Amino acid sequence: MRALPIMPVFIAVAAHAQAPTNGFCVENQDTRPALFVVDAGQSYRAVATLAPNEHLCTPAFEAPINGFVSVFYNESAVEGCSRLTSSGTVQVLLKYADFDNCMWQISP
């Protein structure tokens, strides 16, 4: 099994996230904090607890990359919500609900 490189995680608070070049983001617009993941396969993976209005992004890449964004109620939650995403997008969590019942919006 190949270990992923350790990379710094940048959490930002802004009006709305803007996806990095050829990367993607997830943004928390729910009313409570939750555990978020951005996963670009072997290229990058980051996990962070985001308060409302915070976002988590992949770094910029030289070529477009697709991946997953996920959200869990907390670190010990077994169930959460995951979505496929593509480069240049921001997946916005509007409302968290267990068992893949979250409400999402996509921002370009």
* pLDDT tens readout for residues 3-61: 444 444 444 444 678 999 999 999 999 999 999 999 999 999 999 999 999 999 999 99
> Could you identify the residue written with the tokens 């919006």?
105
Domains and CATH numbers, the chain: 11-107 (2.60.40)
Tens digits of residue pLDDT in 51-79: 999 999 999 999 999 999 999 999 999 89
> Could you identify the residue written with the tokens 């169930």?
79
Q: How many residues does the chain have?
A: 108
List strand residue ranges (DSSP E) for the chain, in order: 11-13, 25-28, 34-39, 45-50, 54-57, 67-72, 80-85, 90-95, 103-107
Pairing of strands 90-95, 25-28: parallel
> Could you identify the residue written with the tokens 């617009």?
29
